[in-house]
Chain A
Amino acid sequence: MKKKLTFAAALLAASVLSGVANAKTLVYCSEASPANFDPGTTTGGNDFDASSRTVYSRLVEFKHGGTEIEPGLADKWEISDDGLVYTFHLHPGVKFQTTDYFKPTRDLNADDVVFSFDRQFNKENPWNGEKYLPNLTWDYYTGMDMPKYVAKWEKVDDLTVKLTLTEPNAPMLANLGMDFASIVSKEYADQLAKDGKMADFSTKPIGTGPFQFVDYQLDSVIRYAANPDYFKGKEKIDDLVFAITPDATARIQKVLAGECDVAPYPNPADIGTIKANQDVTLLDQAGLNIGYMSYNTTIPPLDKPEVRHALNQAIDREALIKSLFQDAGATAAQNLIPPTMWSWNKDVKFDSYDPEAAKKVLADAGLKEIQLWASDRVRPYNPNFQRAAELIQADWAKVGVKAEIVNYEWTKYREEGKKKERPGAFQIGWTGDNGDPDNFFATLFACSAIGVSNYSSWCDKDFEDLIQKAKKTSDLAERTKLYEQAQVVFQKQAPAFLLAHSQVYAVVRKNVSGFMMDPLGIHRFDGTDKAE
């Protein structure tokens, strides 16, 4: 108690000294240091928490706590009938942050938007390469196939931007809500280029987001202040502090001791302690991920859906999940996409455990031996491939199928696994990028993904037609229907055994309100408040 009083007194003294009375400070114990503060150049969730979700905004945003798209810097947009031209209307009067290292002289305009994307692909742009930072790879821009789909970005007038695509691509809108699509200030970039300090662009960020950057002590503390000019209104908390705390147990102890207000990713072993504590709340949600096991659907007898169903039915999935995820828990998957994603079909149910029925089908099909693949890596969607393989092996043995476990190191594993001729069942999974169902269905099971990330080598005409149509349709209701149907086809054809969506956790002190778990795995603090 005494310690708390001293701490409160020190806080009070600090705020009086800095001239801010009763400044509200929220401390977030983040899990790792950000690589830098330019979200176009980084890939980690912790990088994005520290840059794009605090300092920056995008044309469109994900609804807080969901995967639906809502207006961001663009108040509204039109999509041409052929799905090729997107016209964005920018919110007028949006101010870039004023800090001790940059004072904007103009509001956000179309030049900033065009610059934000141009720098990521245009080799002529001085910000694209070495002049700015060494070894730039723009991983997300290329990873999301933007170079393939984007024909050009154009300024129509100060508040209107036009994006032309090479072919219709409905998930484009979700891509524009992603971190790499954060809008940066061209005026600031020009100023730094003039001063010969281009690298500062990645260490002293300027955006239009809810918080502005104050200071970063390498690997230790990041400080932000509420952006007084934020176009959606100033935040309720005045100061936001990221205390970088890599060890999960230390992180939780810090929340329990009141040294921080919010912390992500507790250890499964600490879940019990957290639940028992009166001062904190444990938030959880099914993560935007899926663990699954792909059958090679081109090699008999696995080419028959009934054989694949029988293999699924032979696995005691509930016991398997319990053994793998233990206290951390996981949601048994009914569909390829998690229930937090739009278009999740609640009527589809995954194969239930029925070894007797399975045994008969497998005997009739003459399936006696099968390869079962496992790797050494811990993944969020499957903490232990080897253990999973052993349990599945035991279940299959009970129905007369002898599984031989095949092991490879992780990168080699995926190399071998994606080959068309790879036999048997291959354990793998996926963590979503942009909350669009296309990012699961097309990435993992489109015909064009065979040999890349379609580990089942599965090319089903009905499924393919549905997902390709959904990709080209911009009407959300229509897309939702198409994906719901695609899930029915998927369940019928069973190209894979679906394991689970792992649970994601965060620990929050009771006096914090408005903080939400986010299905995209990001931690954002707009709308968060703290009672004294």
Chain B
Amino acid sequence: MLRYLLNKIALLIPTLVGITICAFAFVRLLPGDPILAMAGEHGVTPARYEELKEQFGYNLPIWQQYARYVGEVATGDFGVSISSKRPVIEEFKTLFPATLELSFFAMIFAMVLGIPAGIFAAVKRGSWFDQSLMGTALVGYSMPIFWWGLLLIIFFSGYLGWTPVSGRMGLQFFFKPITGFMTIDSILYGKWDAFRSALSHLVLPAIVLGTIPLAVIARQTRSAMLEVLGEDYVRTARAKGLSSARVIGVHALRNALIPVVTTIGLQVGTLLAGAILTETIFAWPGIGKWMVDSIFKRDYVVVQSGLLLIALIVMAVNLIVDVLYAVINPRIRAA
């Protein structure tokens, strides 16, 4: 098991180097000179331009800039935002809980609906339910998040008035965050109406963000289930006279869930990518919206470090999934 883990970690190192190069190159490949872009409509005098170039280290040869950047990142220095002048890591820590909270509820939504739907579709294979579910899943998978989010807002918030349009909690509630998770903080403060408000604000963005994972999970559960249902031990279980519910719920499902767990883990990347759009539409103060704002502000330091931090998280989650997978499926460890 340890060897397996070390192997996985060793594989992460080239990925990590690749990511630092990508993040570094990305902001330098964006069209336009960052200093001229920062200066805006006024432009800058040539003298001032040189001064700023030196201040931001853009006068150094490119490899030196990269070496400096890697050195800083390795020591945990992710730089200081050009626009807000705050350390990037501090902003990240403040905003990340919001993204995590939203992603958590999106995942709950996707699993609670996706797994049972997948099972049901597999059991009733070829039925109208199976066909329409798989059709819907395909639509869900291809749904442009931006359009989907606005559509839900206009219908549920605008037309029906059931849910708040955007934000994280009703503006009348106001307390200093403890954990940064509004659903938890409101309970810690004993403010139940704030808790309800936080939940109601989560509904639409969680649905929007959870739509693609929902489709993926439903499809994956269905195919894993179909595979397992054809296995000998399932037939044996049926032959023993076990109830259909017990065969499906205990014998088949436990084995079918193994690939589903991997799929769920891999959806973390999708969630973080989706968060960029979802958070922007729903004014959700997380890292996705932060990245978009920073791109518009040409805040290259935030974009560069933000990309790296998000990539690190995705890598960490993938590692955890690999380990979990090995735990629930011993065959993997030997391979």
A residues neighboring B (CB under 8 Å): 3, 7, 10-11, 13-14, 25, 27, 32-33, 35-36, 41-44, 133-137, 139, 142-143, 199, 202-203, 215, 217-221, 223, 241, 243-247, 249-250, 253-254, 256-257, 259, 409-412, 414-415, 430-431, 452-453
Contacts and interface: CB of A to CB of B under 8 A. Distances in A.
Interface in B33-47: 33, 36-43
Interface string B37-80: 11111110000100010011000000000000000000000001
A254 B158 CA distance: 8
A258 to B, nearest CB: 9
Interface string B286-297: 100110110011
B55 A250 contact: no
B33 A411 contact: yes
B82 A257 contact: no
Contact of A137 (B52, B154, B161): B52
Nearest to B94: A218
Nearest to A258: B161
A10 B173 CA distance: 9
Closest 7 CB pairs of A and B: A220-B285, A219-B285, A35-B83, A133-B85, A245-B283, A143-B42, A411-B32
Contacts of A250: 150, 153, 165-166, 281-283
Given A35-B297, A137-B52, A202-B85, A219 B153 contact: no
A199 B84 CA distance: 11
Nearest to A30: B283
A414 B43 contact: yes
B33 A245 contact: no
Contacts of A32: 293, 296
B204 to A, nearest CB: 10
A11 B36 CA distance: 47
Interface string B172-196: 1110010000000000000001000
Contacts of A218: 91, 94-95, 285
A219 B172 contact: no
Contact of B283 (A14, A25, A220): A220
Interface residues of B, number: 58
A11 B85 CA distance: 35
Contact of B164 (A143, A249, A259, A452): A259
A247 B166 contact: yes
Interface of B: 31-33, 36-43, 48, 52, 55-56, 80-86, 91, 94-95, 98, 150, 153-154, 157-158, 161-162, 164-168, 170-174, 177, 193, 197, 280-283, 285-286, 289-290, 292-293, 296-297
Contacts of A431: 41
B52 A257 contact: no
Contacts of B83: 35-36, 42
28 contacts: A10-B172, A35-B81, A35-B85, A36-B84, A134-B80, A135-B80, A137-B38, A203-B86, A217-B177, A218-B91, A219-B290, A221-B167, A221-B171, A223-B174, A245-B166, A245-B167, A246-B280, A246-B283, A246-B293, A247-B282, A247-B283, A249-B150, A250-B283, A253-B154, A257-B158, A257-B164, A259-B164, A411-B33
A199 B80 CA distance: 13
B293 to A, nearest CB: 6
Given A36-B84, A202-B85, A411-B36, A241 B171 contact: yes
B85 A14 contact: no
Given A218-B95, A249-B153, A410 B283 contact: no
A262 B57 CA distance: 42
Nearest to A132: B85
A220 B168 contact: yes
The winner among A217, A241, A243 for most chain B CB atoms within 10 A is A217
Given A199-B85, A246-B280, A253-B153, 14 more contacts: A7-B170, A35-B83, A36-B85, A139-B42, A218-B95, A219-B95, A220-B285, A243-B167, A244-B283, A244-B285, A249-B153, A250-B150, A256-B158, A411-B32
A243 B158 contact: no
Nearest to B146: A247
A44 B40 CA distance: 10
B90 to A, nearest CB: 9
A135 B283 contact: no
A35 B158 contact: no
Contacts of A453: 43
A134 B158 contact: no
A205 to B, nearest CB: 14
A425 to B, nearest CB: 20
Contact of A247 (B36, B280, B296): B280
Contacts of B193: 10, 13
B274 to A, nearest CB: 15
Contacts of A245: 166-167, 283
Nearest to A12: B172
Given A218-B94, A219-B289, A254 B161 contact: no
A219 to B, nearest CB: 4
Contacts of B86: 36, 199, 203
A218 to B, nearest CB: 5
Contacts of A430: 41
Contacts of A412: 32
Nearest to B40: A43
A60 B285 CA distance: 36
A127 B19 CA distance: 37
B31 A410 contact: yes
Given A134-B80, A219-B95, A453-B43, A253 B158 contact: yes
The winner among A41, A219, A253, A430 for most chain B CB atoms within 10 A is A219
Contacts of B37: 411
Nearest to A223: B174
B153 A452 contact: no
Contacts of A411: 31-33, 36-37
Nearest to A239: B171
A143 B40 CA distance: 10
Given A220-B283, A247-B166, A135 B55 contact: yes
Given A27-B171, A250-B153, A411-B32, A259 B165 contact: yes
Contacts of A14: 172-174
B80 A257 contact: no
B154 to A, nearest CB: 7
B32 A246 contact: no
Contacts of B286: 219
A36 B80 CA distance: 13
The winner among A139, A202, A246 for most chain B CB atoms within 10 A is A246
Contacts of A137: 38, 52, 55
A204 to B, nearest CB: 13
B158 A220 contact: no
A64 B56 CA distance: 39
Nearest to A431: B41
A135 B38 CA distance: 12
A150 B125 CA distance: 81
A199 B87 CA distance: 11
A13 B191 CA distance: 12
A246 B165 CA distance: 12
